[in-house]
A and B are shown apart, each in its own frame.
Chain A
Amino acid sequence: MTLSDETAAATKIFFREAIIRALQEEMQADPKLTLLGQDIGAFGGSYREFDGLFDAFGAERVRDMPVAEAAMVGIGVGAAAAGMRTLVSITYMDFLMLALDPLVNYAAKLRFKTAGQLRAPVVVKTTAGAKGQGVAHSQCIEAWLMAVPGLKVVAPSTPADAYGLLKTALREEGPVVYIDHKRLFPTAGHVPVKAACIPFGQALHVRSGSDVTLVSFSYMMTPTLQAAERLNAQGVSCDVIDLRSLAPLDMATICTSVKKTGVMVTVEEGQLTCGVGSEISFRLREMLDGVKIARIGAVAAPVSSNRVLEAASLPDADKIVTCVLTLLNGKGG
């Protein structure tokens, strides 16, 4: 899929408005869809991404919850298994750790445990990433979730993808973790006027180039595209892929690109050990021989609330440019 296909007949809206639109449309279409979360009612959500839904659909379908993540996801999974459809908002992904048991042991396994008799159509919507909030409000643990059979994981980088992926998530038969990044909320972008879902497992080819394939997702697409622009000015042509969906992974799109470039660099904000880039790199090695690969991610330390240290620990355009040039000059790979 290319970018131009997705920008025809579009209107520009804020990132949070793309989320609201997806929720509105799916709540209208499916009366069973109920939202659970902290401050999502009259308050409208920490990022105002639930604005107007409480007034439109009422307290029965937009339910404020206490600060009890395990209970929230447990209730959401149980209600979904009992025939409803739920979206549970976990404001910070760090606190999803408290709710992994109902999500991993119940929701993700339910279809397998019951030989397909029961399903848990639950979406856990959460927000990842560093933005000055320190060790326990900044983490990106999407790679942990990719390792859970039965769980789908998506992470948009634009309002259009937020809209299309969230709609798809809300039609899935099993559990989905839908991840926004805090730094995406101030952004705006074009979203198709016509209602449309974006299928899971389809990466977006956002920039064409011939020397190196850059693979990223979520907010890390911003420094990745900045790096691609700067590398282009230095004569290095970058093919850039936005994964959008982490589980399932679109290895076919990555493979097609790396067959052309022979070089791949993955960029993520989470940890490198057992990370998204590790998984992609190994799968690519299984598909292609003789490829140069490098991974970029956070340093192996908790994210500091000190802004200088926070920035120092995370990938940025400078680090991506340096990594690509080092790899192309024959070191690493």
Chain B
Amino acid sequence: MIYQLQVPGPVPDVEEVRILEWHGEVGRAFEPGELVVELETHKAIVEVRASKISVLRDILCAEGDWQKIGAALALFSDEPDEPIPDDAEQLTAMLVDFEIT
């Protein structure tokens, strides 16, 4: 199955984050608990971690880009070779763990 990684929330007061760092390139498989991406708010870092085994398929926001809470950051899949549908915007949201530090 293909999933969409979205900017997790809610984060108090925050509508928009800046992408600080991706921890892996397209094709990398993440184990549950592994850090996927760090997002910057006005005063904190949001650490987004995989909640199950998943493969990073496409990065939609580069480091330094801005994105709203709930909007798409990347595409993931259960298997490395599953085809990505054209209507990627309609995909199921990927469940993630996130921590604000």
Given A186-B14, A188-B16, decide whether A16 and B66 contact each other with a Cβ distance below 8 A.
no
In Å, the complex CA distance between A187 and B14 comes to: 8
Residue A230 lies at the interface, judged by CB distance under 8 Å to chain B: no
Chain B contact residue count (CB 8 A cutoff): 9
> Which of B14, B18, B43 is within 8 Å of A48, CB to CB?
B43
A186 touches B66 (CB 8 A): no
Residues 6-38 of chain A, each 1 if its beta carbon lies under 8 Å from chain B, else 0: 000000101110000000000000000000000
Question: A-B pairs with CB below 8 Å: how many?
Answer: 22
| Residues in B31-69 with C-beta less than 8 Å from chain A | 41-43, 66
Interface string of B8-42 (1 = CB under 8 A from A): 00000111101000000000000000000000011
Complex Cα distance, B42 from A188, in Å, reads 8
Return chain A residues, CB-CB under 8 Å to B13: 186
Docked CA distance A14–B43 (Å): 9
Number of interface residues of A (CB under 8 A): 10
Q: Are B43 and A185 in contact (CB under 8 A)?
A: yes
Contact of A15 among B15, B42, B66 (CB under 8 A): B42
Could you say which residues of chain A place their CB within 8 Å of the CB of B66? 12, 188
A12 closest partner in B (C-beta): B66
Instruction: Tell me the nearest residue of chain B to A46, going by C-beta.
Output: B43
22 A-B pairs with C-beta separation under 8 A: A12-B66, A14-B18, A14-B42, A15-B42, A16-B42, A16-B43, A47-B42, A47-B43, A48-B42, A48-B43, A185-B42, A185-B43, A186-B13, A186-B14, A186-B15, A186-B41, A186-B42, A187-B42, A188-B16, A188-B18, A188-B42, A188-B66
| Chain A contacts to B: CB under 8 angstroms | 12, 14-16, 47-48, 185-188
Top-8 shortest CB links A-B: A186-B13, A186-B42, A14-B42, A48-B43, A185-B42, A186-B14, A12-B66, A188-B16
- Starting from the known contacts A15-B42, A47-B43, A186-B41, 19 additional A-B residue pairs (CB-CB under 8 Å) come to A12-B66, A14-B18, A14-B42, A16-B42, A16-B43, A47-B42, A48-B42, A48-B43, A185-B42, A185-B43, A186-B13, A186-B14, A186-B15, A186-B42, A187-B42, A188-B16, A188-B18, A188-B42, A188-B66
